[in-house]
Structure 1
């Protein structure tokens, strides 16, 4: 476990030389994305931050940007609106960033929510939570990898469920369209398990880029309530029991933001970034080198040796082929 004291000591070393100069936060208007942006801005370092999010009340977005700039006038916040549950919108947003930048140092991905309601699809025929938690994120990575490879110490952090992968998922129905296959827990496990082999492949193909698949633990972001019928039995359960329980055991907003900033910047992961004298993180292939790091809410790494060897052998090729099929029209 990396203590909060160690994390804050590391983050205190972030300055103009070690901060990501160009950062893209997808899903940064709420939850962990918002908390991590605030932690980064509060370091006082110069940074240009693309804040990507869906349309929300203009006053709230402007107030957040003004808050960030009052905290750190050296931070340049570029609001980039996009309904990124749609893959065509994701491609458009990436086009905007690519037209303005020659490099990206950090890509931070947090879109999604616990899919405990009924199965709902986007206009493109993709289940909404799966689009946000998997397809959108992989599409952002594929579009921005050329810019990330131009940075000195590029990093991609995807916040979902690194280390929680299961050895068996529904390979014959990756999108959970068959009757009876979709449920909240099945979907969440399916999506996070699809993510890790794909990120590992991309990490192996791009050894200059550090990849982190983060499991944030319990953080009270309100996502557990999204997408459910508040008048349903499950909606009442979430409101009366689950949400109060999460708030009771949740990591504080401040600590969560600091922990994810540490994951974005520390040389503990891949050896590049803010200097780190502690134990180095071990990537998913159990090498103390760059690659994919499965990082939990304690900032510990796991290779998940129970699931990952089987996923590499039996699932990766099918997941990757299917992913390419879905994303090809948007590349």
Structure 2
């Protein structure tokens, strides 16, 4: 485990020379994204951050943005409204950012919620939690890669469940979980986690100049469980209120610590790239290197390259996941 004091010491070295000056936060209006954004702005460095969120969250987010400006007047937060469960909306946002910026230093992805409810498709025909937890994220990565590749220390930080992949977690014969009985909370979430890692693993090989991080944040009380429940799920809501929510509160790390640990991922050379020098143990990517690739990291800031599983996933799933995802996203690229 990387000691929290060492993480704070590393983050204290962030300055105008090494900070990610231009960042895109997709899902930064709540949860890990908001906590990390708060930590990044708190460094006091000059920043421009595109904060992408839904119209329903704009009012409270504008208040948050005002607070951030008080903390750091040098930080410019650009509110960007979008319903990013829709791939067309994600494409629109990316095109807008590309028209304004020549480079991006950091892409931070946290969209989605636990798939506890019934299966629901967007108007584009994609199950909404899978769109938020996988397709939208990969579309942002693919769209913004050209801008990321124009900076010295480009990073993509994807927050979901890095290191928790299993060969049995992914259904390569039903990648969109449309067959009867396929879409269940206990199968959908592991499926999405593995999809993210498989796709990012291939991207990391093809774009070795970009650092990719797939984070499992552990237990943080973000309210994610509640957002997944339908109003008519009385029994499940009661179970969450009586048992799950108190358990999450009991074992969760603090908001501040979660934000600082993810800021560490965004800036430290512990996970490849040209980040802030790190004297501790270097992370190991899924390619077995410490300077480039996809880094799977857990809530202890330890790299968990899942060395027994990843080669099997490459053999079993990569080609199918890559082809299927490119086909589905093709119209939006």
Pairwise TM-score range, normalised by the shorter structure: over 0.9
Structure 1 unaligned residues grouped into runs of 5+: none
Q: How many residues align?
A: 331
SS at match of 1:255: helix
Structure 1 position 287, deviation (Å): 1.6
Of the three residues 255, 258, 276, the one matched with 1:256 is 258
Residues 100/128 of structure 1: CA separation in 2 closer, same or farther (3 Å cut): same
Mapping of 1:73-92 within 5 angstroms? 73-92=73-92
SS at match of 1:56: helix
CA distance in 1, matches of 2:57, 2:154: 32
Structure 1 position 314, deviation (Å): 0.9
CA offsets 1:58-81 (integer angstroms, 9 cap, x no match): 431211110110000000110001
CA distance in 2, matches of 1:311, 1:297: 23
Structure 1 position 164, deviation (Å): 0.2
Structure 2 unaligned residues grouped into runs of 5+: none
Are positions 1:221 and 2:215 aligned together? no
Mapping of 1:6-25 within 5 angstroms? 6-25=6-25
Residue matched to 2:136: 136
Residue matched to 1:299: 301
SS at match of 1:44: coil
User: Does the aligned pair in 2 maintain the 1:271–1:280 contact within 8 Å?
Assistant: no
Residue matched to 2:53: 53
CA distance in 1, matches of 2:137, 2:290: 26
User: Does the aligned pair in 1 maintain the 2:58–2:81 contact within 8 Å?
Assistant: no
User: Does the aligned pair in 1 maintain the 2:177–2:183 contact within 8 Å?
Assistant: yes
CA distance in 2, matches of 1:14, 1:219: 24
Mapping of 1:1-331 within 5 angstroms? 1-168=1-168, 169-230=170-231, 231-331=233-333
SS at match of 2:295: strand
Residues 57/138 of structure 1: CA separation in 2 closer, same or farther (3 Å cut): closer
TM-score normalised by the chain length of structure 2: 0.98
For the aligned residues, what is the CA RMSD?
Answer: 0.9
CA distance in 1, matches of 2:227, 2:76: 30
Runs (4+) of structure 1 exceeding 3 A deviation are none
Structure 1 position 306, deviation (Å): 2.8
Residues 323/57 of structure 1: CA separation in 2 closer, same or farther (3 Å cut): closer
Structure 1 position 57, deviation (Å): 4.9
